[in-house]
Amino acid sequence: MGPVPAKWRGECEKGTQFNASLCNNKLIGARAFPRMNSTRDTEGHGTHTSSTAAGNFVDDASFFGYAPGTVKGVAPKAHVAMYKALFDEGAFTSDIIAAIDRALGDGVDVLSMSPAWPSNVEAAEVNSKPVYSNFNLLSGTSMSCPHLAGVGALIKKAHPDWSPAAIRSAMMTSADSLDLSGQPIKDSGLAIGAGQVNPNKAMDPGLVYDATTVDYVNLLCAMNFTAKQIQVITRSSTNNCSSPSLDLNYPSFIALFSANSSSSSHANQVLEFSRTVTNVGEDVSIYTATITPLEGLVVSVVPEKLEFKSKGEKLGFKLVIESDSAVKSRQFLASGYLRWKEDGGGSHVVQSPIVATNIAFDSLSSSSRN
């Protein structure tokens, strides 16, 4: 492993059964929020997830003699800093936010939020409302987070100038949407997200959907956050809400059509999404859009071709989704993909999931729980 980065500003805080000397060239930081108890792992979950993200090489490992070999995390040469904000007694949102703020201030490049709460145990209350209740992340989000964090660390190392949004886009648009037999995974479009991360493809995605701080401020403005609330998030008093927009430059599309359209109206509903992609592949490249059919919908891209003349060039396009008369009188949920395929024998396929529905999302959530 390389030396501790010069930009590192964190520290190891002593606590119950945890001495600051336990930090080393791998574990370079440890803090607990609130500043009590200890950063020490009490049930093995934090150790498990951090090892998944950045565990070093361990030779001659096996599971009671089965599958012998060398084990490692996704980014084995990455340094690790632990920020413990979840305890057996529960958690406060303020502690979680404080841990994230401190990690960013310390110089952390990639965050992995990998919590675990015991099932059927209500966590601490904030403003008389439970933070989490009847929630167990042991075999779901908390297992996927460290894998993605590890991949994010690898991409950050290979492309240190990429923004977090560009790294996220690379992982999403290069993800696999096929099952083990090579067949497309059939789902509602809400079950697998962008797909299963493919680290090798994510290193060279061809195009990325980038976003800046201004884009996120415009989103907050469009969501009717107050100036004070936005300032708390951005830590800046110079936020500009003159161009609010809900159309964040995100690598996926969710089209929510109005339900119960008037039967007297024959006009189809049309939704438009504006996006900009940045060329991070070859200097000169051409991409052509293809769209998987979505039942009851007419989907188009303008323009259908993007011609890049240099690396780093940005080009915009619009995705237009129109509902036909057949779906206006019934509930529907359709899913598919927009794929930008590189012309001329290029290997890049930039894939974005599309979900279109006229069902309220609270109804979808209720259905998934029942």
The reported pLDDT for the residue numbered 363 is: 54
CA dist list (Å): 286 to 183, 207, 280, 299, 306: 27, 11, 12, 21, 6
Mean pLDDT, to the nearest integer, of 63-72?
92
Nearest to 286 by CA among 222, 363, 354, 346: 346
pLDDT value, residue 328: 66
Contact by Cβ (8 Å): 310, 285: no
Predicted confidence (pLDDT) per residue in 233-279, tens digit: 998 989 999 999 999 999 999 998 887 655 445 568 899 999 999 99
Mean pLDDT across 363-369: 45
Mean pLDDT value of segment 38-53: 87
d(CA 97, CA 197): 27
The pLDDT of residue 127 is 38
Instruction: Name the pTM for this structure.
Output: 0.86
Handedness of CA 358, 362, 366, 368 (dihedral sign): positive
What homologous superfamily does CATH list for 20-158?
Peptidase S8/S53 domain (3.40.50.200)
Contact 298, 322 (CB under 8 A): yes
Q: Where are the domains of the chain?
A: 20-158, 182-198+249-370, 212-247
pLDDT (tens digit per residue) in 278-301: 999 988 999 999 999 888 899 999
Shared fold status for 20-158 and 182-198+249-370: no
How far from chain centre, in Å, is Cα 198? 14
Q: Which two tokens stand for residue 153?
A: 């660390």
C-alpha distance from residue 133 to each of 2, 85, 116, 123, 191 (Å): 41, 17, 12, 6, 22
| Residue 35, pLDDT score | 67
Is 121 a residue whose pLDDT tops 50? no
Give the model's confidence band at 126: pLDDT under 50 very low, under 70 low, under 90 confident, else very high: very low
Query: In the prediction, which pLDDT does 333 show?
Result: 87
Predicted pLDDT at 115:
59
Average pLDDT, the chain: 85
Q: Is residue 143 a contact partner of residue 149, using CB atoms and an 8 Å limit?
A: no
CB 85 within 8 A of CB 33: yes
For helices 141-158 and 45-54, angle between their N-to-C axes, nearest 10 degrees: 30
SS3 labels along the chain:
CCCCCCCCCCCECCECCECHHHCCCCEEEEEECCCCCCCCCCCCHHHHHHHHHHCCCEEEEEECCEEEEEECCCCCCCCEEEEECCECCECCHHHHHHHHHHHHHHCCCCCCCCCCCCCCCCCCEECCEECCCCCCCCCCHHHHHHHHHHHHHHHHHHCCCCCHHHHHHHHHHCCECECCCCCECCCCCCCCCCCECCHHHHCCCCEECCCCHHHHHHHHHHCCCCHHHHHHHHCCCCCCCCCCCCCCCCCCEEEECCCCCCCCCCCCCEEEEEEEEEECCCCCEEEEEEECCCCCEEEEEECCEEEECCCCCEEEEEEEEEECHHHCCCCCEEEEEEEEEECCCCCCEEEEEEEEECCCHHHHHHHHHC
In the chain the first and final C-alpha atoms are separated, in Å, by 48
Pick the more confident residue, 63 or 153: 153
Please, what is the angle between helix 141-158 and helix 164-173, to 10°? Answer: 110
* pLDDT for position 344: 87
Dist. CA 363–CA 365, nearest whole Å: 5
Q: Assess whether pLDDT exceeds 90 at residue 6.
A: yes
Confirm if 255 and 321 have CB atoms less than 8 A apart.
Answer: yes
Q: What is the pLDDT of residue 257?
A: 87
Residue 193's pLDDT is 85
List the 297-302 sheet strands across, edge first.
207-208, 270-279, 314-323, 297-302
Given a cut of 70, is residue 117 above it in pLDDT? no
In the predicted model, what is the mean pLDDT of residues 195-203? 94
Radius of gyration of the chain (CA): 23
**pLDDT at residue 150 tops 90:** yes
List the CATH code of the domain at 182-198+249-370: 2.60.40.2310
Q: Does 46 score more than 70 pLDDT?
A: yes
CA atoms within 13 A on the CB side of 229: 10
pLDDT of residue 116: 45
Per-residue confidence band for 326, with pLDDT thresholds at 50, 70 and 90: low
State yes or no: pLDDT of 40 exceeds 70: yes
Return all residues near 132 (Cβ < 8 A) that are at least 6 apart.
91, 117, 122, 123
Which of the residue ranges 2-16, 56-70, 114-128, 198-212 has the most confident prediction, judged by mean pLDDT?
198-212
Dist CA 311 CA 337 (whole Å):
25
Using the structure block, give the residue that is written with the tokens 């290997």: 347
